[in-house]
């Protein structure tokens, strides 16, 4: 919700004293106006002097001016950092390698994305047959001069004759949907607008299902639209105004609905949710039954109690992964053509949670997490285990796209020291071969990847990955990363920026703290709602462990979104422990987060600020409300984007203003505000390199990491 500027506010300088260390000086932070906003919440007076910074930078010249002045000070500071030029050059070199997505076969065509190295966005290619010549189909690099318009998602039609794709502009969550004829490269029909948080689902070759919100009325702030999502069917060649409403719940406006279609085209599956927690209702629409009454939705799961994820369908049978009666997930099936059908267990729960599932050929391919690293196992459709897919040690697997009857599938495998290699798997024989392997400008064998375990404050055993050069054994400046929320698992992944940090002699560590999904539902529940403090305790314990074990000399912490909240919270709770921090696109005002854009969905993890029990928990750790004035803090670089419509930049703006006003010692408290960028997805390569160089040179300076000579 966009708030007006407060006319009664008065001006006050945030901080006018010099903030310096050695030759790095911030002579004065930009002046930030303070408002006289005080609310009484559950008997406590809550001051909110920077509420005017919640306003949209595009609508409020005063906020835009504040952003410009903050960036001027930050840019001047970052330009003086001694390692910045080295990081920018080296990260650019490390980024310059070929990247491929896993191919998807439709008809005799193979579709995949391929970036030659430093292209800002990933183009889509097609081959006629696996050995055919690659043909450029969609090049998003031609869509915008600044490279900030991205190809977000795409899906080829069942016979491969068309591609439905979504366009993301400036990092926004909103999408524009378009269809392309594969043979001619020409558009098919008109574009579809007001799509957001949508799947793409072809219904034969005639049209597709998608999810959208109502078109805003004149003068309405479209960024505030997050209610009344519905599933529609769009028939090719017709205007969007004639799209058929397939499923909606106007009496329950907070529900979200997405649709998928089984590979055989028989069933449309509508999945409904009410927040970010994996609790769904599921309905099936028989696309073969078309009568004058339309397509009736058959209830499969009601009650918003458990997670249900469609794997695929064959004729009347559907397979799902679910955590019902299985906190680490199991596979079940149901035959909708059988009278009195009910759920049947196909693959039972194991100690390792299921992380992905598909049906290819006559096989179920399941990926699991073992201590946050991937395993892949295969089963027949009755649940009998077959041969595993051999992977390359500690790493992450993805892909296994395909459909029942296909003789092959493709998957990727990557780790901290290895970008994704794409493999082709012969489903019948289990034989694998390399489809695409990048050429690198560094030697992965010089970098060690290990996993250790440490005890958190309450004794919980927590894993941490440690990445460093093999010749680095003494304590070194360490970059510790975490997330800890929303059932999201952090698994080994390649990052050019992290490799640059390691090449410079630093250590990268990733802590798999509670709140994620690395060990199933219990791990998630152990770090949300009233248990949220466990997340911060786990992260603090990771830093203490790395120091005690002689891995870290100084520790810098980094996290984005919910991880930005993590960085802000631990900086408040243990400012003595960390040398520096990067809080990226963070949720910093825990008392008002549910008022903006997607914030209302997050109550599953955070709770309701309007409920006293939840308010007490939120108030205790909210980064904005727990800054300790006149205390020496780590150096903090806040990063955000002026048009982020997932976690609105007002969170970071208010938090930075409060940091700068609090007299936190000699280390700087700065904010870097990107333009024409959102929450992270779709960010062009050149902007990603610039941001990474700025952040890492800042963290390197304050942890004592020197750039190589």
Residues taking part in catalysis: 561, 679
Asked if residues 356 and 364 have their Cβ atoms less than 8 Å apart, the reply is: no
C-alpha to C-alpha distances, 527 to 331, 335, 532, nearest whole angstrom: 26, 37, 5
Which residues, at least 6 apart from 636, have a Cβ–Cβ distance to it below 8 Å? 567, 571, 580, 581, 582, 583, 659, 667, 668, 669, 670
Alpha carbons 147 and 596: distance in angstroms, whole number: 27
DSSP 601-640: GGHHHH--TTSHHHHHHHHHH-GGG---TTS---EEEEEE
Alpha carbons 626 and 633: distance in angstroms, whole number: 13
Residue of 316, 598, 552, 388 lying closest to 454 (CA atoms): 552
- Given the DSSP bridges, would you call strands 635-641 and 669-674 parallel, antiparallel or unpaired? parallel
DSSP 546-600: HHHTTSEEEEEEEEETHHHHHHHHHHHH-TTT-SEEEEES----TTTGGGSGGGG
Type and span of the H or E element at 693: helix 685-703
Which residues, at least 6 apart from 123, have a Cβ–Cβ distance to it below 8 Å? 113, 114, 115, 136, 137, 138, 139, 140, 141, 151
Tell me the residue length of the chain. Answer: 709
Residue 154 has φ and ψ, to the nearest 5°, of -155, 155
Asked if residues 704 and 554 have their Cβ atoms less than 8 Å apart, the reply is: yes
Residue ranges of alpha helices (H) inside 483-532 are: 496-503, 521-525
Type and span of the H or E element at 377: strand 373-380
Q: Is 196 helix (H, G, I), strand (E, B) or coil?
A: strand
E-only strand ranges, 129-266: 135-138, 149-156, 162-169, 174-181, 192-196, 201-203, 207-212, 230-235, 244-247, 256-261
* DSSP 8-state class, residue 502: H
Provide the 10 A C-beta neighbour count for residue 408: 18
Which residues, at least 6 apart from 288, have a Cβ–Cβ distance to it below 8 Å? 266
Alpha carbons 709 and 696: distance in angstroms, whole number: 17
C-alpha to C-alpha distances, 648 to 215, 590, 599, 602, 651, nearest whole angstrom: 21, 13, 9, 13, 6
């Amino acid at each position: 919700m966009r708030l007006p500027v407060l006319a009664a506010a008065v001006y006050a300088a945030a901080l006018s004293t010099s903030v310096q260390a050695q030759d790095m000086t911030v002579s004065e932070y930009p002046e930030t106006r303070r408002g006289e906003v005080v609310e009484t919440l559950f008997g406590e007076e809550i001051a909110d002097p920077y509420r005017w910074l919640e306003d949209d930078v595009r609508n409020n010249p005063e906020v835009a001016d504040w952003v410009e002045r903050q960036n001027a000070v930050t840019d001047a500071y970052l330009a003086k950092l001694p390692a910045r030029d080295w990081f920018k050059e080296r990260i650019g070199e490390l980024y310059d390698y070929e990247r491929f997505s896993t191919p998807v076969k439709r008809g005799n065509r193979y579709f995949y994305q391929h970036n030659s190295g430093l292209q800002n966005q990933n183009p889509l290619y097609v081959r006629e047959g696996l050995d055919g010549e690659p043909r450029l189909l969609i090049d998003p690099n031609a869509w915008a001069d600044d490279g900030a318009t991205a190809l977000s998602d795409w899906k080829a039609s069942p016979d491969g004759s068309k591609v439905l794709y979504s366009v993301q502009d400036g990092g926004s969550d909103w999408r524009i949907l378009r269809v392309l004829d594969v043979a001619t490269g020409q558009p098919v029909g008109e574009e579809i607008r007001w799509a957001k948080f949508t799947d793409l689902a072809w219904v034969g070759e005639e049209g597709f299902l998608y999810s959208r919100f109502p078109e805003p009325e004149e003068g309405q702030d479209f960024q505030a639209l997050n209610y009344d999502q519905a599933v529609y069917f769009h028939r090719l060649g017709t205007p969007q105004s004639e799209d058929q409403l397939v499923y909606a719940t106007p009496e329950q406006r907070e529900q979200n609905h997405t649709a998928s279609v089984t590979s055989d085209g028989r069933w449309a599956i509508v999945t409904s949710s009410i927040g970010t927690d994996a609790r769904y209702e599921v309905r099936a629409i028989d696309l073969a039954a078309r009568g004058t009454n339309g397509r009736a939705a058959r209830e499969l799961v009601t009650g918003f109690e458990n997670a249900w994820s469609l794997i695929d369908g064959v004729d009347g049978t559907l397979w799902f992964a679910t955590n019902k009666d299985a906190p680490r997930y199991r596979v079940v099936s149901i035959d909708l053509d059988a009278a009195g059908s009910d759920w049947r267990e196909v693959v039972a729960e194991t100690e390792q949670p299921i992380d992905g599932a598909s049906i290819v050929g006559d096989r179920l391919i399941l990926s699991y997490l073992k201590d946050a690293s991937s395993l892949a196992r295969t089963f027949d459709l009755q649940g009998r285990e077959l041969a595993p897919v051999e992977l390359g040690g500690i790493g992450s697997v993805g892909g296994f796209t395909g459909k029942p009857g296909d003789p092959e599938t493709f998957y990727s495998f990557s780790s901290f020291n290895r970008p994704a290699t794409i493999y082709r798997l012969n489903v019948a024989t289990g034989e694998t071969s390399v489809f695409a392997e990048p050429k690198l400008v560094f030697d992965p064998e010089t970098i060690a990847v290990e996993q250790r375990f440490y005890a958190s404050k309450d004794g919980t055993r927590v894993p941490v990955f440690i990445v460093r050069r093999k010749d680095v054994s003494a304590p070194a400046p360490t970059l510790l990363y975490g997330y800890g929320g929303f059932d999201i698992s952090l698994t080994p992944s390649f990052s050019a920026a992290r490799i640059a940090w390691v090449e410079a002699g630093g250590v990268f560590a990733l802590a798999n703290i509670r709140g994620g999904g690395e060990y199933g539902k219990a791990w998630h529940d152990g770090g949300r709602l009233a248990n949220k403090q466990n997340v911060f305790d786990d992260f603090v314990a990771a830093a203490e462990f790395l120091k005690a074990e002689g891995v870290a000399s100084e520790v810098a912490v980094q996290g984005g979104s919910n991880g930005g909240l993590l960085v802000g919270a631990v900086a408040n709770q243990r400012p003595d422990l960390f040398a520096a921090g990067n809080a990226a696109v963070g949720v910093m005002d825990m008392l008002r987060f549910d008022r903006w854009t997607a914030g209302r969905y997050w109550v599953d993890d955070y709770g309701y600020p309007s409920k006293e029990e939840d308010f007490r928990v939120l108030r205790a750790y909210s980064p904005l409300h727990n800054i300790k004035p006149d205390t020496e803090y780590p150096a903090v670089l806040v990063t955000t984007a002026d048009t982020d419509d997932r976690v609105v930049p007002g969170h970071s703006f208010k938090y930075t203003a409060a940091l700068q006003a609090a007299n936190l010692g000699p280390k700087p408290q700065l904010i870097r505000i990107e333009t024409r960028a959102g929450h992270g997805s779709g960010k062009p390569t050149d902007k990603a390199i610039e941001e990474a160089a700025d952040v890492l040179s800042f963290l390197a300076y304050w942890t004592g990491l020197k750039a190589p000579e």
